[in-house]
Amino acid sequence: MNSFVAPAVLAALVAVPAQAEQISLNALSEYLNGMSTVQADFTQISDDGSVQTGTLYIKRPGKMRFEYNPPEKALVLTSNNSVAIFDGRSNQPPEVYPLKRTPLSIILAKDVNLGQANMVVGHDFDGTATIVTAQDPENPEIGNIQLKFTAEPVELRQWVINDSAGGQTTVILGDTKADVPLRNRIFDIDRERRGAN
């Protein structure tokens, strides 16, 4: 009986890697370029170990909104090539940075090409997910973004931003809905600055 069991076990072990394989950079670029709108629950782990949750909205190209759940009173908007960080506990205007100076610009670009020279500095597979570490080839000093994708179907599950100061921020996506209707006004930095609802 053992002579039948052993080949069956070996066959099962050999078959396992074939079920989950590393996704090619071309396939990941195609997935990101095909992403129009996304709404997802997220968990953010900041460099200091603090954890925040909320809802993320993406409208490619160029638009992203992080709404943080209470007790946080923060909001992060990306649009018009800028990133604005609103602190609801402060009376100060938002901090605004050029999108190009953050690794998020890689996934929000109009045309994502992970095969571009010097963009991808890591392309790995951990047995479950494909992990791509990418940087802006023209501005590698701003840091990089590590993207984690699962397959069948391809889906972005997590990213880690490693910034120029050595800080690290992890965003883990939960329940995700694609192709949801999202109005441009929810990404409007000037509108939010004026206190519009």
pLDDT digits (tens, 9 = 90+) for 20-71: 689 999 999 999 999 999 999 999 999 999 999 999 999 999 999 999 999 9
If pLDDT is split at 50, 70 and 90, which confidence band does 8 have? very low
What strand order describes the sheet that includes 120-125? 95-98, 82-87, 74-79, 63-68, 51-59, 37-45, 168-178, 155-163, 143-150, 130-134, 120-125
Average pLDDT, the chain: 88
Looking at the predicted structure, is the pLDDT value of residue 178 above 60? yes
Q: How many CB atoms lie within 10 A of CB 46?
A: 12
**How many helices and strands in the chain, by DSSP H and E?**
4, 11
Give residue 90's pLDDT band: very low, low, confident or very high (50, 70, 90). Answer: confident
What is the CB neighbour count within 10 angstroms for residue 34? 12
- Mean pLDDT to the nearest integer, 175-196: 91
- Looking at the predicted structure, is the pLDDT value of residue 13 above 60? no
Tell which wins on pLDDT, 196 or 43. Answer: 43
pLDDT at 88: 83
Residue 191 has pLDDT above 60, yes or no: yes
Q: What are the C-alpha distances in Å from 134 to residues 45, 104, 152, 189?
A: 20, 10, 22, 27
pLDDT digits (tens, 9 = 90+) for 45-55: 999 999 999 99
What is the band of 168 on the pLDDT scale with cuts at 50, 70, 90?
very high
For the chain, report the end-to-end CA distance as a whole number of angstroms.
71
- pLDDT tens sequence across 96-146: 999 998 899 999 999 999 998 889 999 999 999 999 999 998 888 999 999
Name the pLDDT band for 19 (thresholds 50, 70, 90). low
With CA atoms as reference, report the closest residue to 44 among 33, 52, 36.
52
- Bigger pLDDT: 24 or 92? 24
Bridge partners of residue 138, in order along the sequence: none
Could you give the domains of the chain?
A: 21-117+168-193 (2.50.20.10)
